[in-house]
Chain A
């Protein structure tokens, strides 16, 4: 499986997610500089990692969404390729209009970093197929702007179309409907605030994220 991890200036979870893919499913994970115009042709999965792209000095993800590589990422998504945006990567996907909604500052207005109980809403997606439906897993969060927001009508549509994949058990940031992660309608683009790549080793606070990566590997194998 070939994973392309995009590095934007200010990304800081790029190496973590690469390591998680390598550790959990022996994937071939390649770092792709944001200024590149195209993704490697054998890419199976694109990851937009967490961090502070462009320092988050403008709206989180707004600058990165205009990076040269994003055109290629959008085309890849349109062709049905799997795209994952974690934390700042989720911001970038919403700014690039590959996902609906926006992520506002946490209700507490403070940065929050801690382990977090996340409910698996759907397990019929490429990202969650190895989890049980309604299972509670521990994925840590670390963000200042994680309050998922969408206007009422769109939110209802989002829920009805089953695009909510992850929900907070205790809603630490005040997200509408406690939404922690969503997909697009087609189900191939995922954005989530929690960090599954931080829980893939028993020495690092648990292995709750291992099935996220193993599930992706299985999915890609079966699609081939």
Chain B
């Protein structure tokens, strides 16, 4: 028997479709299923795990299930935010891959009715000395800058991490936050039968049709040749789309809205229909096209950028079209919400697909087998620091500080407009970004975190550490968490050891979110991050949004000359540290046991320290340990630091609730009172020159 082309669908999935339809699906229908049931669109491997996350809480206005989560910041305003991966496109074509990643997440924020106000980018590359890394990194930075700068959304922070595990498969995770009036929030579930579906934005072309779902499928050769693998970004069109949609929203003309990302028209319209517990008819002939001769499935699945799908009352179309025309954008009625569970595509007078909308939107769950790996950790065969004299801590400090991992990243972020919209109180180059919300006269903080090394060495503890680190960063700056978004980057879930690791990391994250009272409000999963060079490290990335009770925050740099230095927290582990990686060439588990009482005690005291202005500056001890925390604290400052050196664990231990504070002499006793009952150690003082000395 000749094997049928299932376009990446599993045999079992195909049989299920056939049974539900009571007939063979035609090719267009099969393609719709293959995309809608792909890992990328359906989260079929991770859905069960994701259900472990706490998703409700005091400040949560909208949790997962919408285009972006929303937290309530008071004064009738909310912060909508979400993080999303654009790993594979960035590996293929870094400039456009990263640019469209930024564009895509901005539209997710717009889709809930929010004005995008800030972006962050979390990047993971191979070793910086590799030629391929240089090419990818330059392209990704250019892509983020060219898109973010032109669209007028400031890039206020992020991270750039290096490890050989990302050589063949870099990670580009883009986070965006938006400001929304809570009474104007748009829900993806609000469409009603009779609403018309209006496509606003750019014309539709053949770009991006060969998304992840098609990677293994054999498409028509002539199509393949004419079709770029990666979509092209047009930040100008996106800027017009933002202003246009917000103007339509302001006039109260939007019932429901979806951005068009993966799987384009199909994904956005099926989701609108299914979430509204209804169906949809789509008139493919009405879609404004950029190319001639496009097949029905090409129109339905195109991932052309800068398009939004609006559900509106038919009577409002004239007004909506006038606004779109003002902004120079295409605007067409491409379908209708109907009062039955059907999803019907018509093309040139024919029905080309006729399916159940709810069925198309509900892929079967996939439960992969799990197997605990025999050992944990990573070995690094080439280690530059192997020849170092480890008995001299200052030599080790100098060596680590000279690594690209710890260099000043201003050469990257100065290529991004991080000030436009005039909200950036604390921008890139800091552990948290702080935004001034003028409309409410309030500050909010954004903190991103990731610790793939602890996740590799001890997955459960790594999951906890990732979540806790973001919340600690907020706390040291003086903010309490409102909610969090997560991007789960992992290799193939089909390898039982991998799926065990994924499960443990997520369990650790979920428990930390619960224990530290920081619900997950949105997120994204990116699996199959592998190349012929191997698999990536388990890399969950989180970004937490925090709020302040007043207008005061604690900066992370700039000690004053009269300051005394305090280290709060227990001794930290070296197990998955940068020291082990760069000097000893091996990281391994287990990490220190997790203690949430300590975490809570730390968070409470840290917030108090900032609010009572008891320190000049402070920062968490994370990557690179105390040594690098001290160097970063003093960088660009008037004064340096002098620290009584201890052993390597003291200097380079990482993680856990631990922070370095520079405290004015006059505030010392009050500072110690706040930290009473928590390990505190005086470890040095500020010094007159700009150097950091360990003596």
Partners in one complex: yes
Bound complex: CA A35 to CA B152 (Å): 21
Bound complex: CA A9 to CA B329 (Å): 11
| Contact between chains at A114 and B236 (CB < 8 Å) | no
Range class of the B interface residue count = 20 to 34
Q: Which stretch (A12-20, A37-45, A92-100) binds chain B? A: A12-20
| Contact between chains at A201 and B436 (CB < 8 Å) | yes
| Contact between chains at A203 and B443 (CB < 8 Å) | yes
Across-interface contacts of A9 in B (CB, < 8 A): 236, 239-240, 327-328
CB distance from A99 to the nearest CB of B (A): 23
Bound complex: CA A54 to CA B150 (Å): 10
| Contact between chains at B425 and A15 (CB < 8 Å) | no
Instruction: Give which listed residue, B235, B328, B423, B438, contacts A52 with CB less than 8 A.
Output: B235
CB distance from B291 to the nearest CB of A (A): 20
Across-interface contacts of A51 in B (CB, < 8 A): 152
| Contact between chains at A52 and B236 (CB < 8 Å) | yes
| Contact between chains at A113 and B417 (CB < 8 Å) | yes
Bound complex: CA A35 to CA B328 (Å): 11
Closest residue of chain A to B423, judged by CB? A204
A203 with B436: in contact, given A13-B420, A111-B416 (CB under 8 Å)?
yes
Instruction: Give which listed residue, A10, A15, A195, A204, contacts B150 with CB less than 8 A.
Output: A10
| Contact between chains at A111 and B415 (CB < 8 Å) | yes
| Contact between chains at B420 and A204 (CB < 8 Å) | no
A52 with B421: in contact, given A12-B151, A111-B145, A112-B414 (CB under 8 Å)?
no
| Contact between chains at A12 and B152 (CB < 8 Å) | yes
| Contact between chains at A10 and B420 (CB < 8 Å) | no
| Contact between chains at A204 and B152 (CB < 8 Å) | no
Bound complex: CA A147 to CA B146 (Å): 18
| Contact between chains at B327 and A204 (CB < 8 Å) | no
| Contact between chains at A10 and B419 (CB < 8 Å) | no
Interface of chain B residues 310 through 362 with chain A (CB within 8 A): 326-328
Query: Contact mask B548-592 → A, CB, 8 Å, 1/0?
Result: 000100000000000000000000000000000000000000000
Instruction: Give which listed residue, B234, B413, B419, contacts A198 with CB less than 8 A.
Output: B419
Bound complex: CA A35 to CA B421 (Å): 23
A52 with B150: in contact, given A9-B328, A111-B145 (CB under 8 Å)?
yes
Q: Is A208 an interface residue (CB 8 A)?
A: no
| Contact between chains at B424 and A55 (CB < 8 Å) | no
| Contact between chains at A19 and B438 (CB < 8 Å) | yes
Across-interface contacts of A177 in B (CB, < 8 A): none
Query: Contact mask B425-439 → A, CB, 8 Å, 1/0?
Result: 100000000001010
Q: Is A146 an interface residue (CB 8 A)?
A: no
Query: Contact mask A40-81 → B, CB, 8 Å, 1/0?
Result: 000000000011101111000000000000000000000000
| Contact between chains at B420 and A114 (CB < 8 Å) | no
Query: Contact mask A179-205 → B, CB, 8 Å, 1/0?
Result: 000000000000000010110110111
Across-interface contacts of B286 in A (CB, < 8 A): none
Q: Is A126 an interface residue (CB 8 A)?
A: no
| Contact between chains at A203 and B236 (CB < 8 Å) | no
Bound complex: CA A56 to CA B149 (Å): 11
A56 with B150: in contact, given A10-B240, A12-B239, A111-B416 (CB under 8 Å)?
yes
Closest residue of chain B to A204, judged by CB? B422
| Contact between chains at B236 and A140 (CB < 8 Å) | no
Across-interface contacts of B150 in A (CB, < 8 A): 10, 12, 52, 55-56
Bound complex: CA A114 to CA B438 (Å): 22
CB distance from A18 to the nearest CB of B (A): 11
| Contact between chains at B417 and A142 (CB < 8 Å) | yes
Bound complex: CA A50 to CA B326 (Å): 20
Across-interface contacts of A133 in B (CB, < 8 A): none
Closest residue of chain A to B236, judged by CB? A55
Closest residue of chain B to A7, judged by CB? B243
| Contact between chains at B415 and A16 (CB < 8 Å) | no
Bound complex: CA A91 to CA B240 (Å): 20
Task: Please list 28 pairs of residues, one from A and one from B, whose beta carbons are closer than 8 Å in the complex, sorted by A's number.
Answer: A9-B327, A10-B236, A10-B240, A12-B150, A12-B151, A12-B421, A19-B422, A19-B438, A33-B326, A35-B326, A50-B420, A52-B235, A55-B234, A55-B235, A55-B239, A111-B145, A111-B146, A111-B415, A113-B414, A113-B418, A140-B419, A142-B149, A142-B417, A197-B422, A198-B422, A201-B422, A203-B551, A204-B423
Additional A-B contacts beyond A12-B421, A57-B236, A111-B149 (12; CB < 8 A): A16-B422, A33-B326, A51-B152, A54-B236, A55-B239, A111-B145, A113-B413, A113-B418, A114-B410, A203-B443, A205-B419, A205-B424
> Shortest 9 CB-CB distances between A and B: which pairs?
A12-B152, A55-B236, A52-B150, A142-B417, A16-B422, A203-B436, A203-B425, A113-B417, A111-B415
